[in-house]
C-alpha cells in the first residue's frame, strides 16, 4: 500500500470518529470497507481487509503523523478522538486542507467545473522553517518587499509567533534594526535563513494581549477599545454567523 493510500485510510478513520465518537471496531471496519472504492483511487494496488491489528497500527501512526490521539473508552465501548479546544481547531483545519487536496487531486479531469480563486502564493513554504526558529529561539534573516517601496530590504529579526489573517500568514517578530515588534507577511518574505544566534523572549510581551482588541495584524497602539453594536435582520445574520466580521 502506498503512503498516499495509508494517509487516506487514516483520514477516513478520523472522519468516522469525528462524525460518530465512540465508534466500535466493527463500525470502523464497516466504514472502511464501504470506502474501499475511494481508497483504490488513491492506491490501485490496495487489498481489501481491515483487522484489529491494522487499526492499532493506524492509531499509532495517526499520533505520529498528525499528533492526534485516538483512545478507547471502556465505559462507552468505542474509540474517540482525545483533544482540547485548541487541538480541535487545528484538527478541523487539517481535515479541511486534506479534503480540499484530495478533492482537487481526484478531480483533475473535471477542471472545467472547478473555478479556483486567483491569488498569488502565500509564502507557506517557509512555515516549517519559521516554526523551527520560533520554537528554538533562533534569529532569522530574510529579504523583504514592502508594498509601498520598490527596493528590497534585508532584515534580521527575532521571530515570536505566526499569525493568520484572511488566508494570509504573518510572522510577528522584533526587528533588530529599531527593536520594534512588527508583522512581516510571508508572501513578501524570501531568502529565509535560520541563524545559530539565539534570543531571549521578552517577559513583558504577550501576543494574545497585543492583538486582543485588534482586527487583522495592525495593533491598536494603546487606544482604548469601544463597544460597537451592529444590527442585522435574520436573513443577513445567517451570513454573519458563518463568516464573522471580527
Helices 3-19 & 52-66 angle (0-180, nearest 10): 90
Q: Is 119 helix (H, G, I), strand (E, B) or coil?
A: coil
Mean per-residue pLDDT of the chain: 82
Query: Helix 3-19 to helix 85-106 angle, to the nearest 10 degrees?
Result: 130
Range 186-200 average pLDDT: 93
Tens-place pLDDT, residues 134-156: 999 999 999 998 877 778 999 99
What are the tens digits of pLDDT across the range 76-126?
999 999 876 556 676 777 777 766 666 666 555 555 666 666 666 567 788
Distance CA 171, CA 131 (A): 10
pTM for the whole structure: 0.57
SS (H, E, C) 142-153: EEECCCCCCCCE
Q: Please, what are the domains in the chain?
A: 3-110 (1.10.10), 117-246 (no CATH)
Amino acid at each position: 500500500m502506498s503512503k498516499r493510500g495509508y494517509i487516506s485510510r487514516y483520514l477516513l478513520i478520523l472522519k468516522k470518529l469525528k462524525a460518530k465518537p465512540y465508534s466500535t471496531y466493527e463500525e470502523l471496519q464497516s466504514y472502511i470497507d464501504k470506502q474501499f472504492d475511494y481508497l483504490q483511487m488513491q492506491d490501485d494496488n490496495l487489498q481489501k481487509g481491515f483487522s484489529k491489528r491494522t487499526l492499532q497500527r493506524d492509531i499509532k501512526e495517526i499520533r505520529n503523523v498528525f499528533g492526534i490521539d485516538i483512545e478507547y473508552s471502556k465505559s462507552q465501548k468505542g474509540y474517540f478522538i482525545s483533544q482540547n479546544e485548541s487541538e480541535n481547531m487545528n484538527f478541523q483545519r487539517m481535515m479541511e486542507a486534506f479534503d480540499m487536496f484530495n478533492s482537487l487531486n481526484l478531480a483533475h479531469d473535471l477542471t472545467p467545473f472547478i473555478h479556483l480563486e486567483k491569488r498569488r502564493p502565500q509564502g507557506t513554504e517557509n512555515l516549517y522553517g519559521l516554526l523551527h526558529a520560533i520554537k528554538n529561539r533562533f534569529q532569522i534573516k530574510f529579504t523583504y518587499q514592502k508594498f509601498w517601496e520598490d527596493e528590497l530590504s534585508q532584515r534580521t529579526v527575532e521571530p515570536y509567533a505566526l499569525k493568520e489573517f484572511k488566508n494570509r500568514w504573518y510572522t510577528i517578530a522584533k526587528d533588530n534594526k529599531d527593536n520594534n515588534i512588527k508583522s512581516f507577511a510571508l508572501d513578501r518574505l524570501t531568502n529565509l535563513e535560520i541563524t545559530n544566534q539565539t534570543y531571549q523572549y521578552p517577559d513583558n510581551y504577550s501576543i494574545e494581549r497585543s492583538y486582543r482588541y485588534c482586527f487583522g495584524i495592525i495593533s491598536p497602539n494603546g487606544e482604548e477599545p469601544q463597544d460597537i453594536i451592529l444590527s442585522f435582520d435574520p436573513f443577513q445574520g445567517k451570513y454573519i454567523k458563518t463568516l464573522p466580521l471580527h
